[in-house]
Chain A
Amino acid sequence: MTTPTGATTDGDTSRPGSTSDLADNATTDAPADAGFRGLSPGQLMWRRFLRDRTGVVSACVVLFFVAVAILAPLISMLYGKNPETHYGQEDVSLLTDSGLPTGPNGGMSGDFWFGLEPGLGRDVLTLLIYGIRTSLIIAVATSLLTTVIGVALGIAAGYLGGKTDYLIGRVIDVLMSFPSQIFLIATMPVVTGLLVAQDENPPGWLPFVAVTLVLSLLGWMGLARILRGISLSLREREFIEAAKVTGASPMRIIFKEILPNLWTPILVQSTLALPAFVTAEAGLSYLGVGVSEPTPDWGRMIADGANFLRTDVTFLLFPGLAMVVFVLAFNLLGDSVRDAFDPKTGR
């Protein structure tokens, strides 16, 4: 709920009632489900998802982005350019004395389809392609990490209750009271400092890990709150009582009885969180505290492009539009996944 770039999973966890509709499907007289009796919930979800045209299209777009990210070296080889070479500096005819492309529209040409980056004169297309890797790796890693933290603490709070619940609840309260943007910025150098001593050479993974850790730090509370609510209600349910009576250990109850009931909200929430992490990562880079050169990064490209607005909007257009399409596809996918799991909400 911060500005869209800010804190990670947006705060819709604070909305009352959003948890309840995940559980009470069974009791409603939903005629739509009648056709599927006998199918597993996973199959049901899959069949519902396949019927959602928007969902399938957005999934294809997302898959396209993922494929491009994975195949980046191959694409770059076929296209004949890479994101490391400073084309504009090797061929002085490409850039002006102050580093702007000499050609119109940001230097777009048959050689450089999306133009050249001002300054170093790298190829914009390959920067974009490799930039997807950065975004995806960090967003996926952050989603995984926040999910693990959120699941662990959410279940601990909800199932164990008492002091654990109180403690975790207060930690969440405090973290949610932090002005998230300034804290993301302020923790970046600290995390970087903790990971690598001042006199060591920064390894290549450092920015990835640092950004992931920082985003995860303030990104797990939403999921934890939701899962806490659900585990709290599950705890009172008969089958848990039954398991307790039969002498199952708390670990066994958590893993065998509670966790399987949480897969739906976990999967839905993580799919919705992923695009938020993509934008948060780009936001950090936009502010100049994210992933640094030479790793290609969209947020940094957008920030660079914004510097040349009056001169040429091309530098902003490509990364900006790519970002919007990417996030839009992810948001649509997230919505579709949620609908597939939980048709009642209806879009």
Chain B
Amino acid sequence: MSSRRTRLAAAILVAGALTVTTACSSGHSNGDSANASKAPVKTTAISVGTAEDSKGPAAPEPGAKKGGTVNMIDRDDFSHLDPAQVYLNYNSEASLLFTRQLTGYKLLPDGSQKLVGDLATDTGTTTDGGKTWKFTLKDGVKWQDGAPITSADVKYSIERTYASFIKSGPTYVQTWISGADYRGAYEGPYGGKHLDAVQTPDDKTVVITFQDVHPDANFTLAMTGYGVVPQAHDTKEEYDKKPFSSGPYQITEHVTDRSLDLERNPNWDPATDPIRNAYPDKWHMSFGVQAQQSTERFMADNGDDKNTFTFHNTVYPSYLDQVKADEKLKSRTLEGLTPYVDFYYINNDRIKDQKVREALVRAFPHQQTRQLQGGTSYGDYATSAMSPTVLGYESYDPYGILKKPQGDPEAAKKLLTDANAVGTTIVYAYNNTPLQQKVTEAIRDALEKAGFKFVAKPLDAKTYYDAIGLVNNEFDLYWGGWGADWPTGYTSIQPVWDSRVIADGAPNYAHVKDPAVDSAIDAAAKIADPVAQGKAWAAIDKQLQDKAYSIPDVYQRSLSLYGSGLGGVKFDSLFGLQYPLNIYVK
């Protein structure tokens, strides 16, 4: 066991080094642009912690003190608070304050993340390559009413994810236990039936058995979606509005779309928690603040806004230059790479000629579209399907995107001429928003220069994902983003490029049907050795790029501000958001 973890850690070091290298080259490539950020691109690495790492309390933030109220402003209210319903990064980040899982990520001072045991004493053990996982709960973990969190609670929480009212959370564990039609196999705990695959030999031990091997299941279980819910306080649908706390804070009031207030949970024991510092006494979160307003408020830094941060609101694009130029704001600016990769998916059902796809990749105006969306702060030019934040990432740029981010119409035209495909019509579908209309114009310009015939098809914002999600859609090119659910290659590659998941609404928007890729995915998922697994995913990524199945656009970045009265505000590269657990009032 321990040897496996060491190897993983080593692999991650390698990966980290690589990401830093690429990030530098990417920064250099747009150095000629007038105001390009000269700051070195910070990327982070993932590691898996030991039982020792999983012991509380969390590493203190230097200079931090307890007390005070921290404010949070954001555009949207959390769409879900019931852990089983939480999937979005934004909801997960907030849930850190009141929801605990078996495992979790510890943010290290250098910005890297370490998977550690949260409720569990370590990150879980498996003896059969990842089919059966065993977790032991820590002593002293309690609910907000003081009752101990037991293995039965963990089992109940997993069972609960099968219930019919849970519709928006992750489904990995359920399908791994019960197969794709997991709802047919088990209806949830409310009828009194239980799930045999989750065993609780005693109050402290949970044993989960999957149908197949899943070596990175301990990452999966760190998702908020598998956070604990107490049977005694389960209000089913209503639980989504006011969950029962297992973390350092509990909810006092929640007015939908307006505010969420948290106060200390007296029954949370810092000694059990390696992840969470809990410096402020209270949190006051307000919603409905647009990015433009929040940027303005952070820049002004008046009154209560001094003690305010934001999970999700980034600097409004039209203020980017001003924020970057302002020395006073520098100390309150957070910048980092998120786990999200933007793609312009090529519909491989329609564009079957690899040369035409290559021409698309070469012609694509990365620099122009990025400039429209905020420039260097929007992201780094991407050349792969995996983000640099994912374990195993390797830089690979077969089409010279980094050298010519503005597109290479001559090269593209040559490819088209060779393929006898000059004038090929490209139907580009886009989300009909003012910004995307402009992005479309930039793409039109570039593709037409390369010799394509460009047809833009505006889609209503509401129908966008429906329309591009149809397997038999009539578009050739469309934008989509993807972020890994946990930082290994599996969720970075499999949901998007595996031909067997192609379905209406499924994320394989490019409709890649490559048996070689499919079998490589299967093989990679079963590799227990993390270094080897990482290499295998990177190899698949290269396969995808060599065939030019889609156009990677950018690895998204985030640039955000916070108030001057706060300390310990950090960037959480796992979710690409501001990280609440080290925040204190100065």
Contact = CB atoms under 8 A, between A and B. Distances in A.
B467 A198 contact: yes
B460 A98 contact: no
A42 interface: no
Interface stretch (A52-60, A139-147, A303-311, A339-347): A303-311
Interface stretch (A13-21, A68-76, A89-97): A89-97
A187 B296 CA distance: 34
Given A97-B34, A102-B34, A294 B441 contact: yes
A226 B359 CA distance: 62
A119 interface: yes
Contacts of B442: 86, 89, 120
A258 to B, nearest CB: 44
A167 B374 CA distance: 55
A95 B438 CA distance: 15
B441 A98 contact: no
B376 interface: yes
B437 A292 contact: yes
Contacts of A293: 434, 437-438, 440-441
The range of chain B's interface size is 35 or more
Contacts, number: 94
A303 B34 contact: no
B455 interface: yes
Interface in A166-205: 189, 198-199, 201-202
Contacts of A93: 34
A288 interface: yes
Nearest to B425: A201
Given A97-B30, A119-B372, A120-B441, A201 B427 contact: yes
Interface residue tally of chain A, by bracket?
Answer: 20 to 34
Contacts of A95: 34, 371
Contacts of B33: 92, 96-97
B507 to A, nearest CB: 21
Nearest to B440: A293
A98 B374 contact: yes
Contacts of B211: none
A100 interface: yes
Interface in B442-485: 442, 444-445, 455-458, 460, 467, 474
Contacts of A120: 372, 438, 441-442
Nearest to A307: B318
Contacts of B35: 96-98
Contact of B445 (A89, A189, A201, A308): A89
Contact of B296 (A100, A119, A294, A310): A310
A100 B321 contact: yes
A99 interface: yes
A300 interface: yes
A135 B297 CA distance: 36
B377 interface: yes
B125 interface: no
A118 interface: yes
A300 B434 contact: yes
B320 interface: yes
Contacts of B368: 86, 89
B30 to A, nearest CB: 7
Contacts of B36: 97
User: Main SS of the interface on chain A?
Assistant: loop
A246 B95 CA distance: 85
B321 A98 contact: yes
B339 interface: no
B424 interface: no
Contacts of A202: 456-458
A96 B325 CA distance: 12
A278 B544 CA distance: 51
A260 B374 CA distance: 59
A95 B30 CA distance: 14
Contacts of B371: 89, 95, 97-99, 119
Contacts of A300: 434
A284 to B, nearest CB: 12
B440 A311 contact: no
Contacts of B322: 310-311
A99 B33 CA distance: 11
Contact of A304 (B406, B434, B460): B434
B432 interface: yes
| Most chain B beta-carbon contacts within 10 A, residue among A118, A119, A201, A311 | A119
B441 A86 contact: yes
B474 A303 contact: no
A281 to B, nearest CB: 16
Contact of A201 (B32, B320, B437, B455): B455
Interface in B21-39: 30, 32-37
Interface in A218-263: none
Contact of A292 (B316, B432, B455): B432
Contacts of A292: 432, 437, 458
Interface in A110-146: 118-120
B91 to A, nearest CB: 27
Interface in B526-543: none
Q: Which of B321, B371, B406 has the most CB of A within 10 A?
A: B371
Given A96-B375, A293-B434, A293-B437, 16 more contacts: A89-B365, A89-B371, A89-B442, A95-B34, A96-B34, A96-B35, A98-B320, A98-B374, A98-B375, A119-B371, A202-B457, A288-B434, A292-B437, A293-B440, A293-B441, A307-B292
17 contacts: A86-B368, A89-B365, A89-B371, A89-B442, A92-B33, A96-B375, A97-B36, A97-B376, A98-B374, A98-B375, A98-B376, A120-B441, A292-B432, A292-B437, A304-B434, A308-B318, A311-B322
The 8 closest A-B CB pairs, nearest first, are: A293-B437, A97-B375, A98-B375, A98-B320, A97-B35, A96-B35, A308-B318, A199-B474
